[in-house]
Structure 1
Amino acid sequence: MNGLSDVRLTLHSQELEAGQKDNAWHAAMRNAPSGLSRWELFWHRLHTRKALLSLTLDQLKDIGLTREQALEEGLKPFWRI
């Protein structure tokens, strides 16, 4: 144990929860090629999500996704993270 009090642990967990929304955006940007404009990012998402729908079960297994997860991600509109 590192000696953090319950109050500090609670505050830390609240900070983590608040930061998760920001982290989702940064994670999405981290996976995209750098230097893309907003429209290029939308175009990139559209094409990579369509490509995800065309992968075989073996290919999905290689990247650690199930068919259901691929469908969920692949059918998202390009403007959603």
Structure 2
Amino acid sequence: MGGMSDVRLQLMAQELEHGQQTKVFNAPAGLGRWGLMVHRWHTRRALLQLDDGQLRDIGLTWEQAREEGRKPFWKD
């Protein structure tokens, strides 16, 4: 699931502090400002729909997913 860029970027920063490497999935190339906002809106809504097993697969807790998923689409 490559659309979790905002969450993955935050997690990458945390993992780098602990010396771990991770693969980060960015938003599709070529998106303008509005395209990026729509991308965030869709991916954050999708994040709120994931069950516990899916969240575990991407390395997030329910609290982290909820925090990211409830952000407004215009915020990083």
TM-score > 0.5 by shorter chain: yes
Please show how residues 1-81 of structure 1 align to structure 2 within 5 Å: 31-81=26-76
Regions of 4+ moved over 2 Å: none
Structure number with bigger Rg: 1
Higher helix fraction (1 or 2): 1
SS of corresponding position for 2:46? helix
Return 5+ residue gaps in structure 2 as ranges: 1-5, 11-24
How much has 1:44 moved relative to structure 2?
0.3
Task: Give TM-score scaled by structure 2 length.
Answer: 0.67
| Percent identity over paired residues | 62
Structure 1 residue runs without a partner (length 5+) = 1-23
Q: How far did residue 80 of structure 1 move?
A: 0.5
User: RMSD over aligned Cα, in angstroms?
Assistant: 2.0
TM-score by length of 1: 0.63
Match of 1:19 in 2: none
